[in-house]
Amino acid sequence: MKHISVMIKPASSLCNLKCKYCFYEDESGIRENRSYGLMDEKTMKAVITNVLSALTGNDEVTFAFQGGEPTLAGLTFFKNFIEYVNIEKSRNVKVSYVIQTNATLLNDEWCEFFKENGFLVGVSLDLHKGSHDLVRASADGNGSFEMVLEKVRLLEKHGAEFNILCTLTNEIAKYPRKVWEFIVKNDLKFVQFTPCLGSLSDGDREKKENGDNYALSPERFAAFYKDITDRWYIDFKNGDVRSIKLIDDIANLVLFNKRTACGIDGKCSPQIIVEADGSAFPCDFYCLDEYLIGNLANDDVLTLYERSAASKTKDGKPLPDLCSSCKYISICNGGCKRMRENICFNSDSEGSCGYRDLLDHLLPKIYSLRGM
């Protein structure tokens, strides 16, 4: 049985917010084509056909939509997408849908659509109001925190499945207690903290320095997660169970040898990221001209997976000496190479590793919960 996952950017890098740390704005800014615009119906149908043609029997496919801001493609685009999938797919093929959104454009109709079609909605909400509004502002400069929180309530009202995606900046990492209090107060059950990455660009100095000011450091990463882990552990033992993605991923890896996140064991999964014109790339962190692997509107999806697996983005950077002597090397193998400098070690680390520090703190708690 095959399980294929394809990430689609139906609105390319277009977005209605101007987030100062946006990694995709950084990536698209150093491509020859900054934005591929909106995906048209011809490309949409070709992408769907090429994906579904590789599936038979009880195979599974997940279509994930990201951006930019994917809802800028319009609700009609998504309705047409699902209608065409239902026409083209074999009867026993299972199809799942995921979307990551800043949620600002959501209304009752969007939420009803997500509920009716079983979407998992990832809502970008940085869980500290001051930090969120400082970085995630609309074009007129106004913060978006309260608006996004209203949309979360709207998703709850319609019974749509959602989780919270918080970009963990160096600033937000200062406030683990306040972040956890907000999670508990608002009864958020599924939260993912995504490390804020430094810029890839060497061009625009002001933009690069601005973006790197928010980039997470390994020390802040470890300090934040150690505090969050303590609070999560106490609540878990008291029966108040919440899913923190990284904790879940580590537990799955060490307890069940189950890999639930790309790069968590130092290995890159073959992926297909599809831009609005069908252009395909091997990783969301490397949607750059030099890493183009084809076009899913024209190329066979399994061929693109083979190219993704062989992409030079999968080549690992040499690990420092501290890794070779680390007791956790068989668990992490240096982790995701794009995130490595933000959660493990960088030129300022001086022999320390944020991820090792976290594992020292977290693993005894995970092992103690095995029998619960």
Edge-to-edge strands, sheet with 60-65: 243-244, 190-195, 161-168, 119-124, 94-101, 60-65, 3-8, 272-274, 279-281, 294-295
Cβ 152 vs Cβ 162: under 8 Å: yes
Classified as helix, coil or strand, 184 is helix
Do you know the residue count of the chain? 372
Classified as helix, coil or strand, 247 is helix
Q: Which of 132, 214, 200, 211 is nearest to 165 (CA)?
A: 132
Residue 264, C-beta contacts closer than 8 angstroms, at least 6 positions apart: 249, 250, 253, 332, 335, 336
Q: Name the residue type at position 197.
A: L
Tokens for 16? 């209605």
Residue 84, C-beta contacts closer than 8 angstroms, at least 6 positions apart: 44, 45, 48
Q: Name the residue type at position 372.
A: M
Tokens for 262? 């790309």
Cβ 184 vs Cβ 234: under 8 Å: no
Displacement of CA 103 from its chain's centroid (Å): 15
E strand residue ranges, 287-330: 294-295
Residue 133 bears catalytic tag: no
DSSP 8-class letter at 268: P
Q: Which of 282, 285, 276 is nearest to 304 (CA)?
A: 282
Given 235, 284, 299, 300, the catalytic residue: 284
Pair type for strands 294-295 and 279-281:
antiparallel
Catalytic residues, by residue number, are 284
